[in-house]
Structure 1
Amino acid sequence: MHARRRTVLTAGAAGAAGLVTACGSSGDGDTGAASAPKTSRGATPSTGTGKASAAGSAPRGEALAKTSDIPVGGGKVFEEQEVVVTQPEQGEFKGFSAICTHKGCTVVSVSDGTINCPCHGSRYRITDAAVVAGPAPRPLAAEPITVTGDTIRLG
């Protein structure tokens, strides 16, 4: 009887893992579609230190993009890594959490000088992630990025 229960539990765990995997999405998040709130990482207020947020953050050193992928005056959301990279001015790159500080939704786009959350309309400045509109209570947390040559990496 114990063997049968173990089989059921193993099958249940495998099924749950499949459901978690099936709920994921791919792409850079610039589609404009709403994303469900993330639970793998809390929205941590920016302290200005540029340190990564708590558990669930992307691996440090991971290549995100080429510098040419980030438009001047805009940015790009990396949904899987929960990071948004902006280029406020030519050659100046900034990294921020892609998790809205209001309800934990993932921001989906960068346009007209702001990082935009689809859930309740919060918008953040691309220069410092300060709140410029919506119900968000705090800026997006800073995320450390490095630029080496034409490659942008986490941490």
Structure 2
Amino acid sequence: MSNILDIGAVMVYEERNVWAGLIVSVVGVAIYTVLILPRAIGGDPTQVNWVAPMLWTIGLSIVASIVVSTVWGIVAGMRDPDGTNASDQRDRDIARMSNRVGQAFLVLAGLGVIVLCALQAHWFWIAHTMFYGFAVSAIVGGVASVIAYRRGLA
């Protein structure tokens, strides 16, 4: 446990927030998939009750991300009070780059939704295309940020 605390203490504020969002995104998508996939397999996926689980997953993921980021920030602040909320040009550059990377996947999901609408696909497919598009966007953007923090922008 002390290794995790040591790593968290040397991370800058923005990097901790990226990690918190990345962890929560992966866990949230995994939980949602585990809840919905068994119901969709072996039957008609369009008959699956997905709306409430999806909305709960999104809402709880937002709350969990805030809680994880806050708690991590408090722990890091106790270890290094001077560097807990500092942000600089490098953080802004990394955020811009990761947003561009993540948005590329969001655009692909949006195009997929347009195609599904044109084909008059069921809402189940349209909603899940957008949901997983948001998830992939957040995860890929988060991974790009983490790589940039660890290896630098080149």
| Larger relative contact order, structure 1 or 2 (CA cutoff 8 Å, min sep 6) | 2
Higher helix share: 2
Q: Name the TM-score, length of structure 2 as normaliser.
A: 0.22
Q: Name the TM-score, length of structure 1 as normaliser.
A: 0.22
Higher strand share: 1
